[in-house]
């Protein structure tokens, strides 16, 4: 299986998307700017953010600096952002999306996702995404954290099929039913939190497999993603780790080891939404933009 850092998958509308990129959840604006610059310096072609992360301005700053520093053009980079829960609804999405583009310092994004399926609004929000897509301000559109029922709701009313469903996905949380449904409907599954936090990285079974390939557990997980056809966006704010996360193209996991890792699924979500039962808006967590300690030159 021949892969490299700029390897792409082809979405259902023909747009090519890098299979590995940088995520910036829980990174402040200055940290996001620096991480994006490092990622572009070391060959990454995809960056994933969201309004809810509170760091679109930092990503936009890092993107502009990284493009200039590395002789790149905007079209060389695949940029994803997401619709904030508080902005959902047809007209509200259209009114607020322009602000997202301004913060990102771009006139289009490559992929625009509904961040969460907020009950009562996500169908109208999808219609707004179709309008944005038709305007050329998003090259592809999709969803995040959608289960099969909600994906079916979208498929019943859409004129443009979602290209991507972004989910928590790692060896202990493989979302097999959702992955199979997405495969059947030509929707790519994209992994957020692909490294799954401490519970996954400290798994002794994965450590045994990683030692066999002389790789870290994180590198084995990311390679497992790639070989499973998953788009993956590991987050890091450390240059050395950003480099290490991309160093997954000089080995291939055997079929037997792939099958073994596939058997580790325990439906174990590692992060704060572990009790999320598709109620649309659990715990009120996503009703406000996260604000992290930051430098004053960035606007939220």
| Those residues with Cβ within 8 angstroms of residue 266's Cβ, 6 or more apart along the chain or in another chain | 172, 173
Tell me the three state secondary structure of residue 121.
coil
* DSSP string for 222-248: HHHHHHTT-EE--B-S-HHHHHHHH--
**Residue 53 is a catalytic residue:** yes
How far, in Å, CA of 94 to CA of 299, rounded? 20
Catalytic residue among 53, 122, 169, 188: 53
238 known ligand binder = no
How far, in Å, CA of 181 to CA of 201, rounded? 28
Of 99, 116, 36, 114, the closest CA to residue 276 belongs to 116
How far, in Å, CA of 151 to CA of 181, rounded? 9
Give phi and psi for 280, each to the nearest 5: 100, -40
How far, in Å, CA of 134 to CA of 203, rounded? 45
Of 242, 170, 234, 232, the closest CA to residue 17 belongs to 232
Q: Taking a C-beta distance cutoff of 8 angstroms, is the pair 177, 147 a contact?
A: no
Of 82, 64, 65, the closest CA to residue 165 belongs to 82
Tabulate helix, strand, coil % of the chain (nearest 5): 45, 15, 40
CA atoms within 13 A of residue 263's CA, in its CB half-sphere: 7
Residues labelled as active-site residues: 53
Give the residue numbers of the binding site: 115
Give the residue numbers of the binding site for substrate: 115
């Amino acid at each position: 299986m021949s892969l490299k850092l700029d390897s792409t998958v082809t979405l259902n509308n023909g747009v090519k998307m890098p299979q590995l990129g940088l995520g910036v959840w829980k990174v402040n604006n200055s940290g996001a700017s620096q991480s994006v610059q490092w990622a572009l310096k070391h060959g990454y072609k995809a960056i994933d953010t969201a309004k809810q992360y509170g760091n679109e301005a930092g990503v936009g700053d890092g993107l502009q600096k990284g493009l200039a520093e590395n002789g790149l053009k905007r079209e060389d980079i695949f940029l994803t952002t997401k619709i904030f829960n508080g902005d959902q609804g047809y007209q509200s999405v259209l009114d607020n999306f322009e602000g997202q583009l301004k913060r990102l310092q771009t006139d289009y994004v490559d992929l625009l996702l509904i961040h969460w399926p907020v009950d009562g609004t996500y169908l109208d929000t999808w219609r707004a995404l179709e309008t944005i897509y038709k305007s050329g301000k998003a090259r592809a559109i999709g969803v995040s954290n959608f289960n099969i029922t909600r994906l079916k709701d979208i498929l019943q009313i859409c004129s443009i099929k979602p290209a991507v469903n972004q989910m928590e996905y790692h060896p202990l949380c493989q979302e097999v039913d959702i992955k199979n449904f997405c495969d059947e409907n030509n929707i790519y599954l994209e992994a957020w939190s692909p490294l799954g936090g401490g519970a996954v990285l400290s798994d002794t079974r994965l450590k045994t497999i990683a030692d066999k390939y002389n790789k870290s557990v994180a590198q084995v997980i990311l390679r497992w993603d790639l070989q499973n056809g998953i788009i993956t966006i590991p987050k890091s704010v450390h240059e050395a780790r950003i480099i290490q996360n991309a160093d997954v193209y000089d080995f291939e996991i055997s079929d037997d080891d792939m099958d073994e890792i596939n058997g580790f699924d325990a439906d174990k979500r590692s992060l704060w939404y572990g009790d999320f039962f598709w109620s649309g808006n659990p715990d009120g967590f996503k009703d406000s933009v996260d604000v992290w300690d930051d430098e004053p030159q960035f606007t939220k």
